[in-house]
Amino acid sequence: MRRVAWGITGGGQYLAESVKAMREVAARNRVCTFVSRAGEEVLRMYGLLDVLQEISRGGYLEEIFLESESGRSFPMTGRLMLGRFDMLLIAPATSNTVAKIACGISDTIVTNAAALAEKAEVPVLVLPTDLREVVTRAPYAVNREVCRGCEICPPQTACPQGAISGDDIRSIDLMLCDGCGTCLPLCSSGAIDAVRMNVRRRCIDLRNIEILRERGYVILESPEEIPEAVEGEVFKRNNMHGSE
Ligand SMILES: Cc1cc2nc3c(=O)[nH]c(=O)nc-3n(C[C@H](O)[C@H](O)[C@H](O)COP(=O)(O)O)c2cc1C
């Protein structure tokens, strides 16, 4: 049984797939979850925030630490220095988080965990959102060209979070939306949808990912690699933090 520190950042790309993979990991290992502020928001938008409790079920080394509740110094990441974890997995890792780690910045709960893991020579596995060109699913939104501005809007009335507003064309406040999807079947014109977007790669992100790789971080290419990487010997084969 491995003791896994799992860092979640605000990436929609690979988020649902990472959660799915971590369910599998949690069935056989202990998973302690560290969530960046943006990670918390994006998890909520995709309706995945509550699912974390099925992965980190409470009890020692199976807690959920939200950056929004962890002050500015993130005391709980100190466990990485104390040898409490066998590894840190960051999945998904936004381009923001990858860039910060590449530059040695540690001002979020996840970048701070990475810095401490590196200093303590704890293996770090990273699943960047921006390694490959991908099609990603956005959170729910109102298509303004399809919305007919009905006088009584059933999705607006039914939304448990009160996230839909407007008197004419409606919109969804993503800071309130929890991705439950109640609204979806209620709009008679089908104006609510989760659009798919093509996300192109940026050179800067690829360069930052290479910097991490050179520093000994294990770079995962897809969420499907997570269980094998966590439970297998992948990280042992890499020269963790040894190249500087
Ligand atoms: C719905 C949604 C999805 C996002 N998906 C990504 C993503 O896949 N990759 C990325 O780099 N940023 C993404 N972002 C932007 C990040 O959340 C934002 O840059 C944030 O500051 C990252 O902070 P963090 O790295 O501390 O989690 C997304 C934002 C939203 C609202």
User: Closest residue (by CA) to atom 22 of ligand 1?
Assistant: 10
- Give the Cα separation of 22 and 16 in Å (integer): 10
Task: Compute how many other C-beta atoms are within 10 angstroms of the C-beta atom of residue 5.
Answer: 29
pLDDT at 242: 46
Among 94, 130, 196, say which to mutate for ligand 1: greatest number of ligand atoms within 8 Å of CB. 94
Residue 235 predicted with pLDDT over 60: no
pLDDT tens digits, one per residue of 45-55: 999 999 999 99
Torsion of CA 46, 213, 83, 50, to 10 degrees: 0
| Residue 42, ligand 1, Cβ within 6 A | yes
Residues 31 and 67 in one domain: yes
Cis peptide before 139 (omega within 30 of 0): no
What is the count of structural domains for the chain?
Answer: 2
Q: If you measure from the C-alpha of residue 12 to the centroid of ligand 1, how many angstroms do you get, rounded to a whole number?
A: 7
- Structural domain boundaries enclosing 205: 3-132+201-237
Give 243's pLDDT tier (boundaries 50, 70, 90). very low
Q: Does the residue 244 lie in any domain?
A: no
Q: Based on the domain organization, do 44 and 161 belong to the same domain? A: no
Backbone angles phi, psi at 53, to 5 degrees: -65, -20
112 lines ligand 1 (CB under 6 A): no
Q: How far is the CA of 11 from the centre of ligand 1 (A)?
A: 4
Residue 37 CA, ligand 1 centroid: distance in Å: 10
Q: Do 165 and 188 share a domain, yes or no?
A: yes
Confidence band, pLDDT 50/70/90 cuts, at residue 199: confident
| Residue 56 and residue 175 in one domain | no
18 lines ligand 1 (CB under 6 A): no
Does 148 map to a domain?
A: yes
Say if strands 141-142 and 3-8 run parallel, antiparallel, or are unpaired.
unpaired
Mutate to test the pocket of ligand 1, among 15, 40, 96, 98 (most ligand atoms within 8 A of CB): 96
Rounded Cα distance, 59 and 121, in Å: 25
35 in the same domain as 126 = yes
| Structure-block tokens of residue 196 | 């798919």
- Examine the domain organization and report whether 73 and 144 are in the same domain: no
Question: Can you give the chain as a three-state secondary structure string?
Answer: CCEEEEEECCCCCCHHHHHHHHHHHHCCCEEEEEECHHHHHHHHHCCCCHHHHHCCCCCCCCCEEEHHHCCCCCHHHHHHCCCCCCEEEEEEECHHHHHHHHHCCCCCHHHHHHHHHHHCCCCEEEEECCCCCEEEECCCEECCCCCCCCCCCHHHHHCCCCCEECCCCCEECCCCCCCCCCCHHHCCCCCEECCEEEECCCHHHHHHHHHHHHCCCEECCCHHHHHHHHHCCHHHHCCCCCCC
Across the chain, mean pLDDT equals 94
Nearest CA to ligand 1 atom 14: 11
- Mean pLDDT in residue range 58-87: 96
Q: Is the CB of 128 under 6 A from ligand 1?
A: no
The CATH number linked to 186 is 3.30.70.20
Asked if residue 33 has its Cβ within 6 Å of ligand 1, the reply is no
What contacts 50, CB < 8 A, 6 or more positions away?
A: none
Domain membership of residue 242 (yes or no) is no
CB-based contacts of 231: which residues, under 8 Å, 6+ apart?
2, 25, 28, 29
Q: Could you give the percent of the chain with pLDDT greater than 70?
A: 95
Predicted confidence band of residue 232 (pLDDT cuts 50, 70, 90): confident
CATH of the domain at 106: 3.40.50.1950
Which atom of ligand 1 is nearest the CA belonging to 9? 27
Point out the least confidently predicted range of 35-44, 121-130, 227-236: 227-236
Ligand 1 touching residue 7 (CB < 6 A): no
Answer yes or no: is 90 within a domain.
Answer: yes
Interacting residues of 115 by C-beta distance below 8 A, sequence separation 6+: 101, 104, 106
